[in-house]
Structure 1
Amino acid sequence: MLILTASASSCKKYLDEERRDNFNTNNYFTTASQAQTFVNGIYSNLYMFQNGDAYGESPFITLELFAGHTTTLGQSVNNKQVITQTTSPTNPGFQTVWSNSYAAIANANIALKRIPDIAMADADKKKLLGEIYFLRAFFYFHLVRLYGDVPLITEPVTITSETLYPERSPMASVYDLIIADLKAAKESGLPETDQSGRASLGAVRTLLGSVYLTTAGYPLQKKENYALAAAEVLPVLTKYTLFPDYAFLHDNAHKNQGELIFQINYLVGVKENAIPQLTLPFNLQVGAYGDHLGAMIPTTQFIASYPAGDKRAKERQFFFSSYPKDKDPSTIITFEKPALYKFFHAESALGNGKSDENWTLFRLPEAMLIYAEAQNEAEGAPNQTARDQVNAIRARAELAPIGNLSQAAFREEVWRQRYLELCYEDKSYFDIQRTHKIYVVPGGTFADATSTPNEQGVTFKEQYYFWPIPQREINTNPKLKQNQGW
């Protein structure tokens, strides 16, 4: 059954969900309004990242657990098995990402087939198709990075289609489609930026830059793509601005603004989430939440890896170690371990406990660091623009600027800033995949991923460079073969 979204306000268009039990594509795609509603439904599949149960088995947490800098104080056996690298293809998070991504891709394929025939303003049609290309590329990008070779489906599927039970396609072919889709999205007339939560040219360029950076690393190692990545994100750097306050990253007043390039949008009463509850200390009454689950807690060793004086590591910047008790502000609760203030949502904590905190998929510092890393690799040394990007991030963190570093030293400084600035935003595991390096704490150095224990004493297993194909999919489709080691 398809889940569609109906238009609400101009800034929350894809939030309202509506079921259409008798949906039929043959008589549905007749008006511009129908086309818009259908595309809104593709956006709603982004909610997969926060899908999960009360134990914290949500993909946004699973991705961080794979990176090794997160503990869980919650009750999830599956989460603990990810940390110790003893999990299996039956882990529900693997199925959540696979099924939601392919549901989004299936609807994107239908929309790309049917919307061109709708009578509507050409500019509106072109923009809508650009959003669809962006979204299809986004979901395929997650699939190919997480599972490796995956089925490549570009046409609507019916019960009689040959692709009803598809085989896996080579990663290179999947990336070819992703890049082609994003190039099409770039030419679709999308706005440079967007404050409504929809795709923009900035989001397209940042995603494409990330794709090029990824393909320049393992396993494809297309080194020529470093230059393409740098060129792709360069225009983004002047279209967004860094926030002066880290609190703006997770409040309601600054959603989809400033440095926030693309977010998953939430709204109380329409679509809410449990991000604060999942990231608060276990069973401590911080905020007006019914649950305090401790499902994603940063390791103390990771926090200790921040340089002396780094503002991000100070109290109530990216982390916090105490907070007033709910309904009793005179009582200060001290945590056993620091938690993520980066995702603390004051509006819901001090209100009724219903969170509509947005989840950020792309923000300006990532684009800045993509440029810095890619330019350094492409040209053999950092240029002034690359150094400026790193120094801007460091300046906000109240750190001294870097000087003229060598290519190798600059490379590691960029990697280090990716960990320190983008921590717990689902970037670290993908960095391990493409670099085959892990961030070693508390020293903040880098070492081979499969031979160096992390701060929890776990050494990354080679099979963990990819997730397993979900067992349910293997059971359903005999053409799917499991990833090595799983």
Structure 2
Amino acid sequence: MKLNIKSSSKILLIAMVVLGTGCKKFLEEKDPSNLQPDTYYTIPEHAEASIAAGYAQTRFIGNGAGIFAANFSMLELVTGTAKTETGQNSDLNNLAGLSFTGENLLVRNWWAGLYNVIAQTNLTIQKVPGINPMDETRKAQVLGEARFLRAWAYFYLVRLYGDVPLILVPQTTGSPDFYPTRTGTEAVYKQIVEDLTVAETAGLPWQQASGTASKGAAKALLAKVYLTMAGFPLNKGVPYYKLAADKSLEVIKDGGFGLFDTYAELHSLTTENRKEHMFEIQYLASVATNPMQQLLLPNFKDVSAYSDEVGSTVPTANFYNSYEAGDLRAKDRVGFFYTSYYTGGDGALKQLNAPYIFKHFDVVANGTLGVKGTAQSSLNWPQIRYAEVLLTYAEAQNRADGAPNQAAYDAINAIRGRALLTPASGLGQTQFEEAVWRERWHELCYEGITWFDMVRLRKVYNETTNGFDNFVGHAFAATPNVVLAEKHLLFPLPTVDFKNNPNLRPQNPGY
């Protein structure tokens, strides 16, 4: 079931957070034909439209970022597990070479896109309480969903940029903090935890096949936040590993979620927003088509119904080859990769001589043997999977208690069992921890997760040794001249925002 979010231009609710502008006169002009927030929020339908606009804003992740690129690529090209097959986009090349600056369009788009989500949810949180009459149960749920989305956005922001402006009310050009200062990382995390705690207790359903936020998703995201807070940069250690273990165990024990039986179900239209997919960015071809399919395809190798096959984000051979022998996740057109596909999407099978990402492959849009593709994708983009909850529990419990318990072994072995790998057993704390990390790299690849694991752990998976290197000084296997440095632990603030708002200074170290 899809959350049918219509075009945001029809909702007329999105209050953009602008951290500096030279267009005040334009913004202050009144148009009496337009709806205004002060007069709009009067009936329950307005609350529904407002939260729908918040969900719509999350789709910035798939939005374009110059020629042959979309924003999602930023989190993959800096990990060393992905590369680009197109040389036309200098921003992609700079990310892959770790030579990006605040001028990078994707760096700017992530900042702006996340603050757009925050702007809309702030409006919802401020205005919906005043709508009367409205069913109080539903009102609390809408506010819980808004808190969930705001926490989701700030969690990305604080991990990407460190200290960021913490904006909790709608902004206008007359707001006293229209040019905000940066808030300390710990205070931002405190707000994220508060928002998710409210969402968790807002009366949301445990699961939501509609694609909206659920109680289970709120708990899963909170567990992930606690796990991150336990590591760098806050280094809160054992107490927060315990919080992460307890919260993820609640998700596991309360039931309703689980692993799909097959990897094909991860990218099937019939299983969206169900079982393993706890929260996804919603796409529906008739409303907002998934724009990422052709970007993930091999560069013009004629394997789909799309006329433009870009290859802007594809796996490195080194990472693909790092999977254990017999790992089902590396099996062609079964797991997360494909090394052959059908000519034109529906014709004779052809060998591609390189791995490509199958985890997000829309068979309906691209085509399959004897069935022409539609070249229009409704496939959602995953944000929280139950597989990650299992691995969060395994890692956190082991660190909290000093050794893995049976439940932690059950969690990691559920992941390994689906991949047809031998169960983990008899491991010490450090051995078990690294086993979990390897599963995170191999199970959660190309979902915007790996980079944040690298930063919170200050470790990077070494495909050659099957071990873990320190973050600083790690050289990418596919491009050994590209080496991670201390400055790469954060992205730079976007140059345009940094220049327009002097209160954002200083720039992140090294930029």
Q: TM-score range by the shorter chain?
A: over 0.9
**Separation in structure 2 between the aligned mates of residue 23 and residue 42 of structure 1, nearest angstrom:** 17
Distance 2:294 2:430 in 1: 40
Tell me if structure 1 keeps the 8 A contact 2:336–2:359. yes
> Counterpart in 1 of 2:337?
319
Q: CA RMSD in A?
A: 1.4
Shift of 1:474: 0.9
Q: What does the per-residue CA deviation read over 1:294-335, in whole Å, with 9 as the maximum and x for residues that have no partner?
A: 1111011101111111111111121111111117613x3321
Rounded Cα–Cα distance in structure 1 between residues aligned with 2:218 and 2:440: 20
Q: Could you report, residue by residue, the CA deviation over 1:173-211 in whole angstroms, capped at 9, with x for unpaired residues?
A: 100100011111111000111110100011101111111
Tell me whether 1:424 sits opposite 2:439 in the alignment: no
Q: Residues 174-189 of structure 1: matches in 2 within 5 Å?
A: 174-189=188-203
Aligned pair partner of 1:48 in 41, 60, 64: 60
1:485 is aligned to: 510
2-side partners of 1:214 and 1:108: how far apart? 23
Matches of 1:398 and 1:130, distance apart in 2: 39
* Residue of structure 1 equivalent to 2:393: 371
Following superposition of structure 1 onto structure 2, how do residues 30-45 of structure 1 map, counting pairs within 5 Å? 30-45=42-57
State the TM-score, normalizing by the size of structure 1. Answer: 0.96
For residue 497 of structure 2, what is the aligned residue in structure 1? 473
Superposed CA offset, 1:432-464 (max 9, x none): 110000010033210101122121212112111
Percent identity between matched residues is: 38
Tell me which residue corresponds to 1:463. Answer: 487
2:210 paired with 1:192: no
Q: Secondary structure at the match of 1:339?
A: strand
Local SS of the residue matching 1:263: strand
Correspondence for 1:149 among 163, 177, 187: 163
Aligned-partner residue type, residue 232 of structure 1: K
Report the counterpart of residue 370 of structure 2 in structure 1: none
CA distance in 2, matches of 1:191, 1:135: 16
Displacement of 1:336 after TM fit?
3.5
Shift of residue 244, structure 1, vs aligned partner: 0.9
Aligned to 2:294: 277
What is the 5 A alignment of 1:285-304? 285-304=302-321
Deviation at 1:12, TM superposition (A): 2.0
Q: State the match for 1:228 in structure 2.
A: 243
> 1:442: which partner in 2?
464
Shift of 1:117: 1.3
Is the Cα contact below 8 Å between 1:449 and 1:459 reproduced in 2? Answer: no
**1: CA distance, partners of 2:510 / 2:448:** 24
**How far apart, in 1, do the equivalents of 2:67 and 2:353 lie?**
20
Give the number of equivalent residue pairs. 476
Contact 1:197–1:256 (CA under 8 A) maintained in structure 2: yes
Matched, 1:82 2:106: no
Structure 1 pair 215–328 and aligned structure 2 pair: CA distance change class (3 A): closer
What CA distance in whole angstroms lies between the structure 2 residues aligned with 1:335 and 1:104?
39
**Residue 71 of structure 1 aligns with which residue?**
83
SS in 2 for 1:424: coil
Counterpart for residue 7 of structure 1: none
1:14 to 2, 5, 28: 5
Q: CA distance change for structure 1 residues 79 and 448 in 2, over 3 Å: closer, same or farther?
A: same
Counterpart in the other structure of 2:216: 202
| Contact 1:55/1:293, CA 8 A, preserved across alignment | no
Q: Is the aligned partner of 1:362 residue 2:375? A: no
Q: Which of residues 231, 236, 260 in structure 2 aligns to 1:243?
A: 260
Letter matched to residue 246 of structure 2 = A
Mapped partners of 2:109, 2:199: distance in 1? 26
- 2:325 aligned with 1:334: no
The answer to whether the Cα contact below 8 Å between 1:56 and 1:278 also exists between their aligned partners in 2 is: yes
Give the C-alpha shift of residue 230 in structure 1: 0.8
Secondary structure at 1:155 match in 2: coil
> Which one of 120, 142, 148 corresponds to residue 128 of structure 1?
142
Tell me by how many angstroms 1:23 deviates.
3.0
Q: How many angstroms does 1:58 deviate by?
A: 2.0
Partners of 2:38 and 2:346 in 1: how far apart? 58
For 1:309, the equivalent position in structure 2 comes to: 326
Task: Give the secondary structure class of the aligned counterpart of 1:268.
Answer: coil
Residue aligned with 1:343, SS: coil
Specify the SS of the correspondent of 1:273: coil
- Rounded to whole Å, the distance in 1 between the matches of 2:355 and 2:380 is 22
Counterpart residue number, 2:23: none
Deviations 1:85-117 (A, max 9, x none): 111111111111111211221221121111111
Q: Aligned partners of 1:333 and 1:13: how far apart in 2? A: 37
Q: Is the contact made by 1:382 and 1:407 (CA closer than 8 Å) also made in structure 2?
A: yes
Deviation at 1:155, TM superposition (A): 1.6
| 1:37-72 deviation per Cα after TM superposition (whole angstroms, max 9, x unaligned) | 011001111101111146443221110011111111
CA distance in 1, matches of 2:383, 2:466: 25
Kindly provide the CA deviation profile for residues 137-189 of structure 1, in whole angstroms up to 9, marking residues without a partner as x: 01011100000000011122222212100010100010010001111111100
CA distance in 2, matches of 1:54, 1:26: 36
Please give the TM-score of this superposition, normalised by the length of structure 2: 0.91
Alignment gaps of 5+ in structure 1? 1-9
Q: State the Cα deviation string for residues 390-418 of structure 1 (Å, max 9, x = none).
A: 00110000001111210100100110000
- C-alpha separation between the residues in 2 aligned to 1:56 and 1:437? 31
Structure 2 residues not aligned, in runs of 5+? 13-32, 368-372
Q: Displacement of 1:17 after TM fit? A: 3.4
**How big is the shift at 1:15?**
4.4
